[in-house]
Amino acid sequence: MPRNGWALGSAARPAGRAGDRGDTRAGGRAEPGAGMLFAALGPLEVWRASGERIRIDQQKKRVLLLAMLVHPGRWTSVEQLRLALWQDAPPRSAMGNIKTYLSELRHTLPPPGGAAEEREAVTVVGPRASVLRRPVGPGRIESRPGEYRLLVDADEFDVLRFERVVAAGRQAAREGRWRPAAELFEQALGWWRGNAFDELPAEVGGAESLRLDEARWAAREELIDARLALGETDAVLPALRALTVEFPTRERLWAQLLTALERTGRRAEALHEYREVYRRLVTELGIEPGAELRRVHRQVLESGSPTDTAPVATVNRR
């Protein structure tokens, strides 16, 4: 859980900002039954089930691992891996380098959950029979001609964990169980430590990074909805003021700010804020406020002392 209970910081804020970080480890240790944890909601981290961090310091290996995590459990082409590593300027040794990096990653990563334990192989090296010991057996990375796949269970990847917990939060919100909904959204947001897949070039990780950034924003806004439904209006106002200043074109935040101001008896201030956002949208972007923001504005105009504790928008995401 986030230490301050909010996790409402900037969508593009580096790890460490108050209000946007949970455990010092990426989402805590692996879940019960999980063999390990891959964490990509920030700089790449890999953890054993015991809580021991697996260090992957070489940047090329980090990029390869992230490139396969973009589509966890699915095959990734060699061409995509080459693009991730060198973009349009691969060296002549690119294929051999990729095989070497992946072989080293196989020896570094624990086997998938339920796989047999790795065994140690003894290889004779040199005339005096010095030996090199390396694990062999089931590995995390599978290969077939022209493609590689990283084996990842749903509970071993923080991106999949995040999506699962957010979905559970939405289900709780749909059922009107606002307290568990808020706790689930907070838990999911607490696993973020920075930007997802930020170490990959835009050609490889850009689309997934943007998708997850929007999912993170949606979870933030749904957490605010849950807090408003719980009547914790005074608690959300400071975060909403900061977020609308930092991200002035996100209309849902403005709708939530108007709602919070109205519910704390600041109707005139809510109307003033609407005039400000209306002016900004029309003069700077050439657009008028969307349906949700207009609806909340009408609600403020028509209501005197509102007692409704419903959230700004019905939670209908799937």
CATH of the domain at 134: 1.10.10.10
The angle that helices 158-174 and 202-229 make with each other, rounded to 10 degrees, is 30
Which pLDDT belongs to residue 303? 79
The verdict on pTM exceeding 0.85 is no
pLDDT of residue 31: 63
Q: Last residue of a domain, which of 152, 181, 215? A: 152
Concatenated DSSP letters for 291-316? HHHHHHHHHHHH-SS------SS---
Domain limit, last residue, from 93, 127, 152:
152
Separation CA 81–CA 244 (nearest Å): 39
Q: Is 283 exposed, middle or buried (0-12, 13-18, 19+ CB in 10 A)?
A: exposed
pLDDT of residue 139: 84
- The boundaries of the domain holding residue 301 are 233-318
10-residue block means of pLDDT along the chain (318 residues)? 40 34 46 78 94 94 97 95 94 94 94 54 40 50 95 94 98 97 98 96 96 97 97 94 92 96 93 94 92 94 59 47
Domain's final residue, options 87, 121, 152: 152
In a domain, 134, yes or no: yes
Inside any domain, residue 219: no
The residues with which 143 forms a beta bridge, in sequence order, are 148
Q: How many domains does the chain have?
A: 2
Residue 26 lies in a domain: no
Tell me phi and psi for residue 36, to 5 degrees.
Answer: -170, -175
Is the separation of the CB atoms in 107 and 142 below 8 Å?
Answer: no
> What confidence score (pLDDT) does residue 252 get?
96
